[in-house]
Amino acid sequence: MLEFTEEQRLIRSEIENLCADFEDEYWREKDRNAEYPMDFVQTLGDHGWLGTVIPEEYGGAGLDTLEASIILEEIVASGAGFNGSMACHGAMFIPRSLINYGSEEMKEEYLPKVASGEELMQCFALTEPNAGFDSTAITTRAEKEGDHYVINGQKTWCSRLHASDYMVLVARTTPKEEVDKKTDGMSLFLVDINDAKAQDAIDADEIEKNIRAAVPSYEVWFEDLEVPAENLIGEEGRGFHQVMDGLNEERVVIAAEAVGLARRRIRRRTGGVRPPDRVESGDSTPPRRSVRPDDQRSEHHVPGRQSVQRGQRRRRGGERLRLHGSRGGLGGDGRRRPDARRLRRRDGVRRRTLLP
Ligand SMILES: Cc1cc2nc3c(=O)[nH]c(=O)nc-3n(C[C@H](O)[C@H](O)[C@H](O)COP(=O)(O)OP(=O)(O)OC[C@H]3O[C@@H](n4cnc5c(N)ncnc54)[C@H](O)[C@@H]3O)c2cc1C
């Protein structure tokens, strides 16, 4: 039997409290108007949750994939659905390559701003019109010229471009035909989106889609985009291997989000409440049947939930965290307010303390 630590249970209840301020009508309106839930994302940022996986020395909460999964599962289960989780889940895996492979200078410059929510690193550009599952087929090129790289090419399905300050871009520094292994010759770059706009070297078109309307995805073109050489993340040519850390993390958090959706569904069913519409899936088909006895089970008994959690633990790979002396911070209305920044480690032991 898998058990959560006290700290993980606390994180779950804190996210539940935070999401309670964003009710069903808020999400319905965002979906209906195809409007990005910036105030929700900003609220997560204000409470430090966008820095969940960023190490504490760079201002983050220093948590890991399991806690990120708990947060995203809870966001979806609150009724926010995939509009809620996808609005912010980039923050849980896109900074990963920078954390694991970035230079110390890069980490010090960018991670604190991202951890505080002051700037957003929520855009990831890998997929191309002819490179989907086979990522090694990308043709977007980055050529080194002196102290910078010049990037040309096209990406597709770049989500949250409009709501990001930084993009992690995967480009070929050596064409596929010239490498021994097709996974070689790809590199990661941190692109400052505002700088790319100022250079007039980026163009984008929103992709029309019929689900998850509040979180747009874009077709993106780069023409002679100059990126400083120091924005290369990790080692040139090793980008495929480096990006896998983040992509594997994304797979795990998306599985947790699906569990959250199932919990939401069961909660609706066991409450006997007819959903006004299915914001979570974007499917407006009315429910086919009323509550049946076999729906009268706990929303926490979602089939597959334990195997998702086992996967999250395996990804963690490190120490099991312990919590000592938890205290809840109170908001002006007396309700406990969540705040990742109150999770701090002392003497190797994680404690939850109030911010000064
Ligand atoms: C809403 C949304 C948001 C997204 N956001 C982002 C983002 O922010 N950044 C980003 O980079 N990408 C993003 N993506 C892209 C996503 O990661 C790709 O859709 C995914 O990588 C698959 O690529 P594809 O759609 O081109 O499918 P394809 O590669 O065309 O594959 C289609 C199907 O064919 C199968 N298939 C493919 N090749 C083979 C083969 N050789 N043998 C057998 N079967 C095969 C696949 O399993 C799949 O079922 C997003 C996609 C969506 C839909």
CA–centroid distance, residue 57 to ligand 1 (Å): 35
Predicted pLDDT at 268:
82
What the block records as the tokens of 205 is 């078109």
Ligand 1 close to Cβ of residue 221 (< 6 A): no
Range with the lowest mean pLDDT among 136-145, 158-167, 291-300? 291-300
- CA dist 185 to 140, 143, 151, 153, 181, Å? 12, 11, 14, 16, 8
* pLDDT band for position 3 (cuts 50, 70, 90): confident
Q: Whole-angstrom Cα distance, residue 64 to residue 345? A: 14
* 54 φ, ψ (degrees, to nearest 5): -80, 130
Predicted pLDDT at 1:
61
Average pLDDT taken over every residue of the chain: 83
* Residue ranges of domains in the chain, CATH in brackets: 6-98+244-352 (1.10.540.10), 120-242 (2.40.110.10)
pLDDT in tens, 217-245: 999 999 999 999 999 999 999 999 999 88
Predicted pLDDT at 292:
45
HSE-up of residue 70 (Cα within 13 Å, Cβ side): 23
Predicted pLDDT at 19:
97
Dihedral class, residue 54 (left if φ above 0, else alpha if ψ from -120 to 50, else beta): beta
* Atom from ligand 1 closest to the CA of residue 212: 1
Q: For residue 327, is pLDDT > 80?
A: no
CA–centroid distance, residue 133 to ligand 1 (Å): 5
CB 242 within 8 A of CB 100: yes
Ligand 1 close to Cβ of residue 125 (< 6 A): yes
Amino acid in position 348:
G
Ligand 1 close to Cβ of residue 164 (< 6 A): no
* 123 φ, ψ (degrees, to nearest 5): -120, 135
Of 323, 327, 328, 350, whose CA–CA distance to 56 is shortest?
Answer: 350
Ligand 1 close to Cβ of residue 228 (< 6 A): no
Predicted pLDDT at 60:
96
pLDDT in tens, 232-287: 999 999 999 999 888 988 999 999 999 999 999 898 888 745 444 444 444 444 44
